Amino acid sequence: MSTTTTYRTCPRSGLQFEGQAELLMKVNAVAAVVFLLIGGILAVGVVLTRWPAVHWLEADTFYQVLTAHGIDMLIFWIIFFEMAVLYFCASTLLRCRLATPRMAWLAFALMLIGAVTNNVAVYQGGSSVMMTSYVPMMAAPAFYLGLILFAVGALIGCFVFFGTLVVAKRDKTYQGSVPLVTFGAITACIIAVFTITSGAIILIPTFLMSVGVVKEVDPLVYRTIWWAFGHSSQQINVAAHISIWYAIAAIAFGAKPMSERVSRGAFLLYILFLQLASAHHLLADPGLSTAWKVVNTSYFMYFAVLASMIHGLTIPGAIEVAQRQKGYTKGLFEWLRKAPWGNPVFSGMFISLIGFGFLGGISGVMMGTEQLNMIIHNTIYVPGHFHATVVVGTSLSFMALTYFLIPVLFRREMINPGLAKLQPYLFGLSMYFFCLVMMGAGTLGVSRRHWDMAFSGAAMAYEWPGAAYLMMGLVGIAGIAAIGGGAIYIYITVGSLLWGRKLDSGARSAKFTPIPPTAPSAAVQGYGSMGFAAPGTFMLAMVFLVAFVLYYFINWKYLSTLWGLS
Amino acid sequence: MSAILPPAERLWWKQPLDRVEGTWIAIALVWCLIMFAMMVGWHVYGKQNLSTETYRTNPEAFAAKAQAMVDKYTVRTETEEKIPVVHPPEGSDVYLIARLWNWWPILELEKDKTYRLHLTAMDYNHGFSLQPANINIQVVPGFEHVVTVTPNKAGTYSIVCNEYCGINHHTMVSRLYVK
């Protein structure tokens, strides 16, 4: 098969794309954006219903829309895009052909059929079971079947990725070790295999239960294994979008990792410990022992948190070092002030990084603390947290990467660059606010997945404090602003693909050009001040730490005022 | 562009790390260990720890125990459905049923007294969300979760269901009194 393909070198970026891989990246990315569009339209229904003054949809429609929104965004948009990222990190970065492109097409077909099947099942009604579909609440068989087909497709895609690594090694397209970004993609893919297998283990018996072959699936076993799929799939995203941050730092600044050892070591910690986090969802459950909860929820002594804190330093640190080498050495922050804030590739990535750390990271540790979970479990604080991680973190990173890929992969000039410049700010900052007010409402106890906070029709309705109503109103306003930002992204992406000026594809060749050996460079020491290569980043990291520590102990203080529980 | 290129040094793991990285890793590690110690330590010194005492149960067995409690300790009924309000003695076993779409019965507890609260769901998953105290516990069908509670403030509380349980999920809200 390797003889039938061609390679082209992108004149703008110097990246080499293999024909089959390029086409597969495109179709996966386009499918992803289509599901983002569907999920975005559904988001309008969700926020306008949870905005108490509007309270738009009827209860049954609301739960149906919420189910579809969760699945389309968290699973279909993100995993389709991740398939494109995996093929990019293997075939493009390693400059080799894609292994078994026919299998990759099969993977894509299964994923697409599965995603459509699942969506149809939800829209037919009778499958409004939320993304989590906790048994014994049952959906239509097609709901589970769609997810299973999608998972099998994604699993095949993962093995195509691993196969491509083997091809690159055998064809000697690179020397030494794989690039750091590819290493991050390998991390994501290993986590994906674990995740998707867990999904299959629990969804297959549930599917059989829905068609009447299996009599019962234990509700607690379901929750335990489902979350090894549900939470771990978000860990694929973490590994993937952190790899993208490293890639964008390299693309936009020519930044190189401060030290390969530290960054790769942090990815290794992800592989070893990140999976344990499914326990986060089970801390308020019966039946599981305290020791199990404590060890798992903390990623065995917070080693995966440690890894994220390391990436949070090394990525801006690498940018700082690169900027200082270019002469932006004044004070602590000239390197940051003089960064290309008008380039959406960079601004999207940096807004994503800060929001993921400050909002998503800190809130995640609060919820994942065994005792603190009691004041957060199933409140709207939870979606506040995961919109900070998955929307600000993952989706915004994917958007930033898209702005790079439109000319490079799709060979189109981006339409309306002025609007594109604005998009990361509108989308990212309104999502910051959206997450903050959601967490605020959650701190007051407001429930997630709840149609009516006024409890209409209930004999003993609870009256939420006025502040809770205010914050849910702000959730509505911020949500609409963020959806506007998402719509601009889709307009620019789809518009550029349809109407953007065609760009030169670069010379084609039947043979790949191996990556030339990189010239060794001096170590990073010797720039900056205070003996630190990146003093500005260190200062930012200390601000983060102070915020983290303060908020952590504020929550403990709040917990200590509660009823005695033992 | 070295993060997207193979490392220049073949023996990259032998490269020294910068002081900024080493310092941050040390600080972050210490903080991680403090957080871990906090969680473990609260089990020793803290007063808010979720019990893990759990038994397998079924709707009939649990309903029978709840009915026995209601028969013995009901003090009055409330609402049009005449939901019993139960005032159990200190230290006793108190049963609360979660089902589509109500909590049963209504409990009346006393401040600073301790009770063994038994929770289960008769059908789907439900969520015990005590407001405005904001204590949230998952209620899973087939499992009887025994939580020891000591109310520390008198007042009228609400129990909201905060696990999605179907179309009338929003009507599943009850009361709890602390005298």
Contacts of A302 in chain B (CB under 8 A): 32-33, 35-36
Lowest mean pLDDT, pick from A92-96, A296-300, A379-383: A296-300
The CATH class that applies to domain B53-178 reads mainly beta
Note the Cα A489 to chain centre separation in Å.
17
Quote the CA–CA distance of A385 and A356 in Å, as a whole number: 9
Quote the CA–CA distance of A109 and B124 in Å, as a whole number: 35
Residue matched to tokens 């497709």: A153
Ranges of residues in chain B with a pLDDT under 50 are 1
Q: Give the domain CATH number at A431.
A: 1.20.210.10
Residue of B nearest to A446 (CA): B162
Contact A562 B48 (CB under 8 A): yes
Closest C-alpha to A366, from A348, A350, A382, A390: A382
In a domain, A503, yes or no: yes
How many pairs of residues across A and B have Cβ atoms under 8 Å apart?
338
Q: Is the pLDDT of residue A516 over 90?
A: no
The amino acid sitting at A201 is I
Residue of A nearest to B13 (CA): A261
Report the pLDDT value the prediction gives residue A506, as an integer from 0 to 100: 86
**pLDDT tens figures, A188-247:** 999 999 999 999 999 999 999 999 999 999 999 999 999 999 999 899 999 999 999 999
**pLDDT tens figures, A335-363:** 999 999 999 999 999 999 999 999 999 99
In a domain, A393, yes or no: yes
Contact A298 B143 (CB under 8 A): no
Report residue A530's pLDDT band, with 50, 70 and 90 as the boundaries: low
Report residue A3's pLDDT band, with 50, 70 and 90 as the boundaries: low
Question: SS3 for A263-310, per residue?
Answer: HHHHHHHHHHHHHHHHHHHCCCCCCCCHHHHHHHHCHHHHHHHHHHHH
Complete DSSP assignment for A194-252: HHHHHHHHHHHHHHHHHTTSS----HHHHHHHHHHHHTHHHHHHHHHHHHHHHHHHHHH
Query: How much of chain A, in percent, has pLDDT values that exceed 90?
Result: 90
Quote the CA–CA distance of A16 and A92 in Å, as a whole number: 6
Strand ranges, E, within A156-203 = none
Quote the CA–CA distance of A32 and A28 in Å, as a whole number: 6
Residue of A nearest to B44 (CA): A566
In a domain, A244, yes or no: no
Report the pLDDT value the prediction gives residue A526, as an integer from 0 to 100: 45
Contact B17 A375 (CB under 8 A): no
Contact B3 A175 (CB under 8 A): no
Residue of A nearest to B103 (CA): A460
Q: How many C-alpha atoms does B52 have within 13 Å on its Cβ side?
A: 13
A397-to-A33, A195, A305, B76 alpha-carbon distances in Å: 14, 22, 20, 59
Contact A177 B149 (CB under 8 A): no
Rounded average pLDDT over A460-479: 98
| Chain A touched by B76 (CB under 8 Å) | no
- Output Rg (C-alpha) for chain B, integer angstroms: 24
DSSP A410: S
Report the pLDDT value the prediction gives residue A183, as an integer from 0 to 100: 97
Rounded average pLDDT over A152-159: 96
What residues does B118 pair with on adjacent strands? B95, B146
Contacts of A523 in chain B (CB under 8 A): 15-16, 18
Q: For residue A359, how many other CB atoms are within 10 A of its CB?
A: 23
Contacts of A376 in chain B (CB under 8 A): 136
Contact B16 A525 (CB under 8 A): yes
Q: Is the pLDDT of residue A523 over 70?
A: no
Query: Could you tell me the pTM of the whole model?
Result: 0.96
- Are residues A519 and A18 in contact, defined by beta-carbon separation less than 8 angstroms? no
**pLDDT tens figures, A295-328:** 999 988 899 999 999 999 999 999 999 999 999 9
ipTM value of the model? 0.96
Report residue A520's pLDDT band, with 50, 70 and 90 as the boundaries: low
Report the pLDDT value the prediction gives residue A256, as an integer from 0 to 100: 87
Residue of B nearest to A301 (CA): B36
| Chain A touched by B133 (CB under 8 Å) | yes
- CB proximity under 8 Å: B 148-167 to A: 148-153, 158, 160-167
What is the average pLDDT score of chain A?
Answer: 94
In a domain, A427, yes or no: yes
Quote the CA–CA distance of B134 and B160 in Å, as a whole number: 10
Q: Is the pLDDT of residue A291 over 60?
A: yes
Note the Cα A450 to chain centre separation in Å.
25
Quote the CA–CA distance of A299 and A544 in Å, as a whole number: 21
Report the pLDDT value the prediction gives residue A274, as an integer from 0 to 100: 87
Report the pLDDT value the prediction gives residue A301, as an integer from 0 to 100: 87
Closest C-alpha to A488, from A409, A399, A389, A356: A399
Of B15, B130, B167, Cβ closest to residue A60: B167
| B71/chain A closest Cα distance in angstroms | 23
What is the residue range of A364's domain?
340-454+461-513
For residue B92, what are its two tokens? 């006793």
Listed by start position, the domains of chain B span 12-45, 53-178
Report the pLDDT value the prediction gives residue B1, as an integer from 0 to 100: 45
Q: Is A229 exposed, middle or buried (0-12, 13-18, 19+ CB in 10 A)?
A: buried
Cβ-count burial A316-351 (b if 16+ within 10 Å, e if not): bbbbbbbbbbeebeeebbbbbeebeeebbbbbbbbb
In a domain, A351, yes or no: yes
What element of type H or E holds A493? helix A466-499
Count of domains observed in chain A: 1
| Chain A touched by B100 (CB under 8 Å) | no
